[in-house]
């Protein structure tokens, strides 16, 4: 198990709106590489729409559903998700 660096501060309750956004982004990035999927969707529309990219579009859809779930979740659920993700690294 890799130790947490100074770049990953502990997540504590209650979450501020900014901390909540960062925590949700950390979960999405850790599970789905959301920023890479979003960049491909934005920057290469032809490839994004191609049959060859069907799996990535499915993963992106799953990530969006997870984002909606986390947006609606209470702070303690988000903190638990972040802690579990960090422990799995």
Token pair recorded at residue 75:
């702070």
CA distance 82 to 50: 33
* Residue showing tokens 């925590």: 23
What's the chain's average pLDDT?
Answer: 91
State the Cα–Cα distance between residues 75 and 18, nearest whole angstrom: 12
Span 65-80, average pLDDT: 97
Confidence (pLDDT) at 9: 74
Of the pLDDT bands very low, low, confident and very high (cuts 50, 70, 90), residue 26 is very high
Helix axes 34-43, 54-72, angle to 10 degrees: 120
């Amino acid at each position: 198990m890799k130790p947490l660096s100074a770049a990953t501060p502990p997540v504590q309750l209650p979450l501020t709106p900014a901390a909540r956004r960062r925590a949700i982004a950390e979960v999405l990035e850790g599970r789905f590489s959301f920023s890479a999927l979003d960049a491909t969707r934005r920057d290469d529309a032809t490839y994004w729409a191609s049959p060859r990219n069907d799996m990535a579009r499915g993963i992106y859809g799953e990530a969006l559903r997870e984002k909606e779930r986390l947006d609606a979740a209470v702070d303690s659920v988000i903190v638990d998700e972040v802690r579990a993700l960090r422990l799995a690294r």
